Structure 1
Amino acid sequence: MGDRHYPDGTLLGRARVPGYVHPRIVTVRNDELVDITTKGFATVRDIAESGSAAEHVRKAPGQSLGSVAAILANSIAGHTDDGLPSLLSPIDLQAIKASGVTFVVSLLERVIEEQARGDKFRADSLRGEILELIGTDLSALVPGSETAMKVKAALIEKGVWSQYLEVGIGPDAEIFTKGQPMSSVGYGAEVGLHPVSSWNNPEPEVALVVTSKGEIIGATLGNDVNLRDVEGRSALLLGKAKDNNASASLGPFIRLFDGDFSLETVKQSELALLVKGEDGFVLEGHSSMSQISRTPESLVAATIGEHHQYPDGLVLYLGTMFAPVKDRDGVGKGFTHKLGDVVSISTSELGTLSNRVNLSTKCPPWTYGTSTLLRDLAKADLL
């Protein structure tokens, strides 16, 4: 991948292209962005539901829109020339879902730190008791298992149980709606923080692309922007904490599964996070998919099945093990975003997703919805 910000492979995305009122479907060939929009395949949803998405993208006739590097540069908020193409979120009609508390390692460490109240010896003691219960390491704890239930009982006895531990090691995964179809933003766009929040952070994640039949066909990168203070007040405020204007970022492209890229590749992905502030602050972090406590397949099964259908498919954020603790404005003050922060999430398999932080009230309002898209495609005789 180098510094191209996009990987090799079978890539699928969307772009705003001068001369067209509706988004165009694109792929990458020989480092050029290629428009492959055709009648019947004018949405990412239609390609995903075709049963042969990767083959369609590889074989579809197309027209070059220019170099990917130039179009990526033109996609950065504040630097966009409307006379040139720019990238959009790579999904359209799919539901935007997310899973939370999927990494037991980081979850239990946060609980330990909270209970120890900064006392290293108390932390070591509590950690030792938990490890004795598990018999190995925290990453071996399978949610919902007999061992997990023993840990749950022990933690309740110690008075440290919480709703987050329930979904972290209990039998049921946390699945929630991150945003509405057509509401996500893409590479280079601003990501939004609700103005009531004063404690928030990025969440670097892999997001799976899932068809209406529950088949996982590809993956992309996501920033599940999180308001820690809002959600921390009450889990019933999850919607307010998670679903705001420009709060769901995805991109730069969907990488479709083919002979060189599969779900097994995703399971071994290492995500790198870089936050650069206008104040000179730099935060680095990582998230290892190999440490996920619930398999991606089980998270998809908890989302779609006989209990819930998604006729246009869905995209599912898989959660993160990253929890920022680096002090920003003084000892003990921890991390929170400042306006203008540039957040970059990278993996060698999926590229780099970069966004600049702003208030959700200052980001471009979401005005182009499903009904407008369908009307525009009908007028263009693409449905």
Structure 2
Amino acid sequence: MRYYQLCEDGAPRLALETADSVYDLTAAKPRLQTFEDLLAAADIANQSIDAVADQLLEDAVVLPSEPVEDHAATTPVSSGEVWAAGVTYRISEKARQAESSMPDMYIDVYESDRPEVFFKATPNRTVGPDEAVGIRADSEWDVPEPELGIVLSGGEIVGYTIGNDMSSRSIEGENPLYLPQAKVYDRCCSIGPCIRSADSISDPHDLEMWMTITRDGELRYDESTSTSKMVRSVEELTEYYVKHNAVPDVSVLLTGTSLVPDEGFTLHEGDVIEIGIEEIGTLTNTVVEV
């Protein structure tokens, strides 16, 4: 089941996409306007989110047949925080080494027991589908990083989404201590277009993932990979994220990328980034300078 956050006349509405139709859950239960409302209802009822939603389908309004993204889909969850994991794929380790003035420090991260987990974004730095992600005006080398996102409630995995961990490789490469500036800034992160419930994902460690980048109508990047290449499990990354950490009630943890454009490539204003993950959907963003 896929959950979308819609906006109609400035008011939030929660939609559910099944194999057959798209349903307006808010029409069935007006107080159920957001994914967080659904989480709260599931907690009170001591049921899964899919079980609660399924009980509302009989009274829910069926939305028109065009793609649900056409219904003004917004960021699918108002995550209190977005965190991210790094160097979880072999290609990410090599990319970090290539850009860095201190490459040896990344070797142990990929192979060590403790993963790299870092703060990524707050809600005001995060955008949703069809909104613009940012590249820093003081950066010379900028790339998107497509990632599987874990959606957590109370530290427990409740779903998955798509994330774009925008990064300034030139700033990060100058010195590892500059990582926060390379990762955390205005419009540095996008998530969406939906949340796929954890119970309806066959295996988060075996999903095809792809990314395209288009500039002035010309395809500049087109590659695919699989989450099966990730050296960490989603459970392991979640464990280290919540360990000794006062996490928000609802948060998103991005799991790292194995799709890295060549060293000669950098994003420009106006570029269009599309990131797709099997069983979840496609997240589309344009690029602006911030």
Per the TM superposition, whether the score is higher than 0.5 is yes
TM-score with structure 2 setting the length: 0.86
CA separation of 1:192/1:35 partners in 2, compared to 1, >3 Å: closer, same or farther? farther
CA separation of 1:207/1:40 partners in 2, compared to 1, >3 Å: closer, same or farther? same
Matches for 1:253-332 after TM superposition, within 5 Å: 253-258=194-199, 260-262=200-202, 265-278=203-216, 280-305=218-243, 307-325=244-262
Q: Could you say what secondary structure the match of 2:123 adopts?
A: coil
Q: Deviations over 1:117-149 (max 9, x none)?
A: xxxxxxxxxxxxxxxxxxxxxxxxxxxxxxxxx
- Following superposition, the deviation at residue 190 of structure 1 comes to 1.1
* Cross-structure match for 2:133: 191
* Cross-structure match for 1:375: none
Matches for 1:3-152 after TM superposition, within 5 Å: 10-18=1-9, 20=11, 23-28=12-17, 30-32=20-22, 34-36=24-26, 38=29, 41-49=32-40, 50-51=42-43, 52-60=48-56, 61-69=59-67, 72-73=69-70, 85-103=71-89, 105-107=90-92, 109-110=94-95
Letter in 2 for 1:300: T
Contact 2:139 2:171 in 1 (8 A): yes
Query: Of 262, 268, 281, which aligns to 1:351?
Result: 281
* Cross-structure match for 1:200: 142
Q: How many residues align?
A: 281
- Following superposition, the deviation at residue 112 of structure 1 comes to 8.1
Is the counterpart of residue 227 in structure 1 residue 200 in structure 2?
A: no
Q: Could you say what secondary structure the match of 1:344 adopts?
A: strand
Is the counterpart of residue 250 in structure 1 residue 191 in structure 2?
A: yes
CA separation of 1:18/1:111 partners in 2, compared to 1, >3 Å: closer, same or farther? closer
Give ranges in structure 1 of 5+ residues lacking alignment.
1-9, 74-84, 116-159, 326-332, 361-383
- Following superposition, the deviation at residue 290 of structure 1 comes to 0.7
CA separation of 1:93/1:182 partners in 2, compared to 1, >3 Å: closer, same or farther? farther
CA separation of 1:182/1:312 partners in 2, compared to 1, >3 Å: closer, same or farther? farther
Q: Deviations over 1:138-178 (max 9, x none)?
A: xxxxxxxxxxxxxxxxxxxxxx8633223222232111111
**C-alpha separation between the residues in 1 aligned to 2:223 and 2:26?**
36
When the two chains are superposed, the root-mean-square deviation of aligned CA atoms in Å is 2.6
Q: Could you say what secondary structure the match of 1:245 adopts?
A: coil
Letter in 1 for 2:236: S
**C-alpha separation between the residues in 2 aligned to 1:179 and 1:111?**
20
- Following superposition, the deviation at residue 56 of structure 1 comes to 1.8
Query: Of 324, 337, 340, which aligns to 2:270?
Result: 340
**C-alpha separation between the residues in 2 aligned to 1:112 and 1:357?**
26
**C-alpha separation between the residues in 2 aligned to 1:47 and 1:164?**
40
**C-alpha separation between the residues in 2 aligned to 1:19 and 1:293?**
42
Q: Deviations over 1:88-126 (max 9, x none)?
A: 0101143211111111x21454478789xxxxxxxxxxx
- Of structures 1 and 2, the larger Rg is shown by 1
Identity of aligned residues (%): 29
Q: Could you say which structure has the higher strand fraction?
A: 2
TM-score with structure 1 setting the length: 0.67
Give ranges in structure 2 of 5+ residues lacking alignment.
none
Contact 2:97 2:106 in 1 (8 A): no
